[in-house]
Structure 1
Amino acid sequence: MLKRRTRDFHQLSPVANALFHVIAASLAIIAVFPFLFVLIISFTDENTLARNGYRLIPEKWSVDAYHYIFQTGDSLLRSYGVTLFVTIVGTLISLCIITLYAYAISRKSFKYRGFFSFIAFFTMLFNGGLVPTYIVVTQLLDMKDSIWALIMPMAVNAFYIMIMRTFFSTMVPDAIIESGRIDGAGEFQTFIRLVLPLSLPGIATIALFSTLGYWNDWFNALLYIDNPDLVPLQSMLMRIENSMQFILQNSNNASLSSGILQNMPQDTSRMAMVVLATGPIILAYPFFQRYFVQGLTIGAVKE
C-alpha cells in the first residue's frame, strides 16, 4: 500500500505533464532562437538588411558575408586547424593535470595535502601579473611563436582544481578507495579503474569549461604569436574585423575604391563570424551531455 501511494504521488497527471513539456520546449526555443536568428542574418543580403532591418525571414538571401570572410584563402582553414589542435590537446592536458592534482589533495592520507591546497588557492587570489608571465613564457620557457604558447598558459586553472577536489571529497566514497587497497591496487590503478568512472560528471564539467576556454582564447595569440601559420580562429576573425573597421574609418581616402566599400558586407559579415566561431563548439555539448548522463547513472556502493 505504501509503495502504491508513493508511486501515485510521484506520477504526474496528463495536464501537468503537458504543461511541463510546454515550459521545457519554450525554454529550449528561447535558448536556441538567438543563434538561429544570427544564422539567418548572416545569410541575408546586406542591402536588404540596410533597407528592411532585421527580419526573421529576409527578403533576399545571400552568401556574400561568407564569401568575403573566405577570401582570406587557406588562412581561415589553417586557423581552424590550429584552434582544433589547441582545443583538443589543451583540454586533454588540462584534464590530466587538474584531475591528478585535485585527487591528490582530496585524499586525507596525503601528507602534503594542505601545502598543495594552499598553493592552488593562493593563485586564485594573487598572480604574478602580465609582464612576469610574458617573460616566463617567452624567455624562460622559450615558447614564443610556438603552438605550446597557446596551450600551456591555460593548462592549469586553480578554480577547476578546487571544484574537482570538492567533487572527489564528496562524491567518491572512502569505501571505494579502501576496496581498491584491499584488492592490492596502487594509488594510480585505483584512480584509473575506480575513481574516474565515478567522476565523469565532474570531469565532463571541467572538460567543457576547458574546451570553451581554449576555443574562445585570442589573448595568448595576441601576446605570443607572430607567425601567421599559428594564428588561431578567434584571432584571425578579429584581424578580419579590424581590417573592415580600418577600411570603413578611412572611407574618405581616395586610394580606396568606392566599389570595395559598397560590396563589402558589414553587419552580415559580423554575424557570419559569430556563426563560424560558435558553430563547431556547439557540437561539443551533446558529447559532454552524454557523459553527464552516463556518470550520473553509475552506482558505486551497494547496500
Structure 2
Amino acid sequence: MKKIDVFQIVNTLFVLLFALLCTLPILLVLIVSFSDEESILRKGYSFIPDHFSLEAYKSVFGSNDQLLQSYGVSIGVTVIGTLAAVVITGMAGYMLANRQVRYRNPIALFFFITMLFNAGLVPWYMMNDLLGFKNNLLALIVPTLIFSPFNLFLVRNFMQELPEALLESARIDGASDAYIAFRIVFPLSLPVLATIALFYGLGYWNNWFNAIMLVDKESLYPLQYLLYKLQSEINMVNQMQGLVTSNITIPTESFKMAVAIITIGPIVLLYPFLQRFIIKGLIVGAVKG
C-alpha cells in the first residue's frame, strides 16, 4: 500500500485554496458586469444578484464601429510595439552581456540612472511634438518603445548565464555578432524574451496616456482611451441627472465591471501560453545582478 504523503496533501489543498481566492475576484467582476444597476446600488456587489442585465454591455457596444476600430488600433499598436521593443531590448541586452564590448559596465550604469531620474512631462511632450509623433500611429508606439531598464537588465542577466564557450566557438567558425545574436543567443533566451514581451504587451495594451497627450483623431483612439471617455461621459450624465428628477438608472458600476472584462480578456487568454517561459525567465534573469 502506498504511503500517504501528508505534506503533499496539505500543500495541494493550500494551492487550490489560493487559486480559488485569486479566481473569486475575477468571477465577481464578471457577475457584477451582468447585474442590474439598481440591485448593485441596493445590495452592493454580490455573487447572486437580484436581476441580471445587459445594459452595461449595451452601453459599451452602443457604437459598434468605433469600438471595433479602437480594438483594431490597440491590437495593432500592441503587436507592432511589443515586437519592436523586444528586438531592441534583446539587442541592447546582448551588447551589455557581450564580454567583447568595451565599457559595457559604464554603459549599463547610464541605463540604470534612467531608472532613478527622468526629465519630466514637458520635455517628453516637446520631444514628441518636435519629432512629429502627433495624431498618427507612431504617437502610440514610439514614445513607449524605448525599452524599460528593468527589462534590459533582466535580459542581460539571463544572457550572461549562457555558456561563453558556445559563443567563442561560433566566433572561431567566423560567425558575426548579428548571426550569434539572432541565431544562437535569442533562441536560447526565449524564456526571458517571452517574459519581457508580456510586460511590454501589457504596457501597450493598457496605455491610454499617449492618446490623451498626443492624439486628437477619434479614428486613432485605442481601446483603453475610448472606454475611459465612455466612462467619463456616463459619470457626467449621472452628475447631471442628480440635478433633475428622473427614473432612469445609468449603469455606472456595472459599466465599470464590463469595461474591466473587455480589457483584460485578451491578456487572460494570452498569459497561459507564455506562463512556462515567464517563470523560467524571471527566475534565471533575476539571479545574477
**TM-score of the alignment, normalized to the shorter chain, above 0.5:** yes
What letter is aligned with 2:62?
A: Q
Q: Secondary structure of the residue that 1:56 maps to in structure 2?
A: coil
Give ranges in structure 1 of 5+ residues lacking alignment. Answer: 1-10, 297-303
Distance 1:180 1:12, change over 3 A: farther
Q: In structure 1, what is the equivalent of residue 118 of structure 2?
A: 127
Q: Distance in 1 between matches of 2:116 and 2:252?
A: 41
Q: Secondary structure of the residue that 1:57 maps to in structure 2?
A: coil
Structure 1 runs (4+) deviating above 4 angstroms are: 292-296
Shift in Å, 1:293: 7.3
What letter is aligned with 2:271?
A: Y
Shift in Å, 1:52: 3.0
Q: Distance in 2 between matches of 1:176 and 1:249?
A: 66
Distance 1:18 1:175, change over 3 A: same
Q: Distance in 2 between matches of 1:266 and 1:235?
A: 17
Q: Distance in 1 between matches of 2:10 and 2:109?
A: 49
Q: What's the Cα RMSD here?
A: 2.2
TM-score by structure 2 length?
A: 0.90
8 A Cα contact 2:97 2:156, kept in partner: yes
Q: Identity percentage over the alignment?
A: 39
When Rg is computed on C-alpha atoms for both structures, the one with the higher figure is 1
TM-score by structure 1 length?
A: 0.86
Question: Is 1:102–2:88 an aligned residue pair?
Answer: no
What letter is aligned with 1:287?
A: F
Shift in Å, 1:253: 5.1
Q: In structure 2, what is the equivalent of residue 64 of structure 1?
A: 55
Q: Distance in 1 between matches of 2:273 and 2:3?
A: 30
Q: In structure 2, what is the equivalent of residue 160 of structure 1?
A: 151
Q: In structure 2, what is the equivalent of residue 223 of structure 1?
A: 213
What letter is aligned with 2:174?
A: G
8 A Cα contact 1:44 1:60, kept in partner: yes
Q: Distance in 2 between matches of 1:83 and 1:45?
A: 29
Please say which of residues 56-65 and 118-127 is displaced more in the overlay: 118-127
Question: Is 1:187–2:177 an aligned residue pair?
Answer: yes
Q: In structure 1, what is the equivalent of residue 65 of structure 2?
A: 74
Question: Is 1:149–2:135 an aligned residue pair?
Answer: no
User: Over residues 217-269 of structure 1, what are the superposed CA-to-partner deviations in whole Å (9 max), with x where a residue is unaligned?
Assistant: 11111100100011111111110111011112222556xx835xx14211111
Q: Distance in 2 between matches of 1:14 and 1:129?
A: 57
Return the match for 1:271 from 257, 278, 284: 257
Q: Distance in 1 between matches of 2:116 and 2:92?
A: 19
What letter is aligned with 1:213?
A: G
User: Over residues 145-193 of structure 1, what are the superposed CA-to-partner deviations in whole Å (9 max), with x where a residue is unaligned?
Assistant: 1111111111122221122112212x21212211222333221111222
Q: Distance in 1 between matches of 2:228 and 2:143?
A: 21
Q: Secondary structure of the residue that 1:151 maps to in structure 2?
A: helix
Give ranges in structure 2 of 5+ residues lacking alignment. Answer: 283-289
Return the match for 1:284 from 259, 270, 274: 270
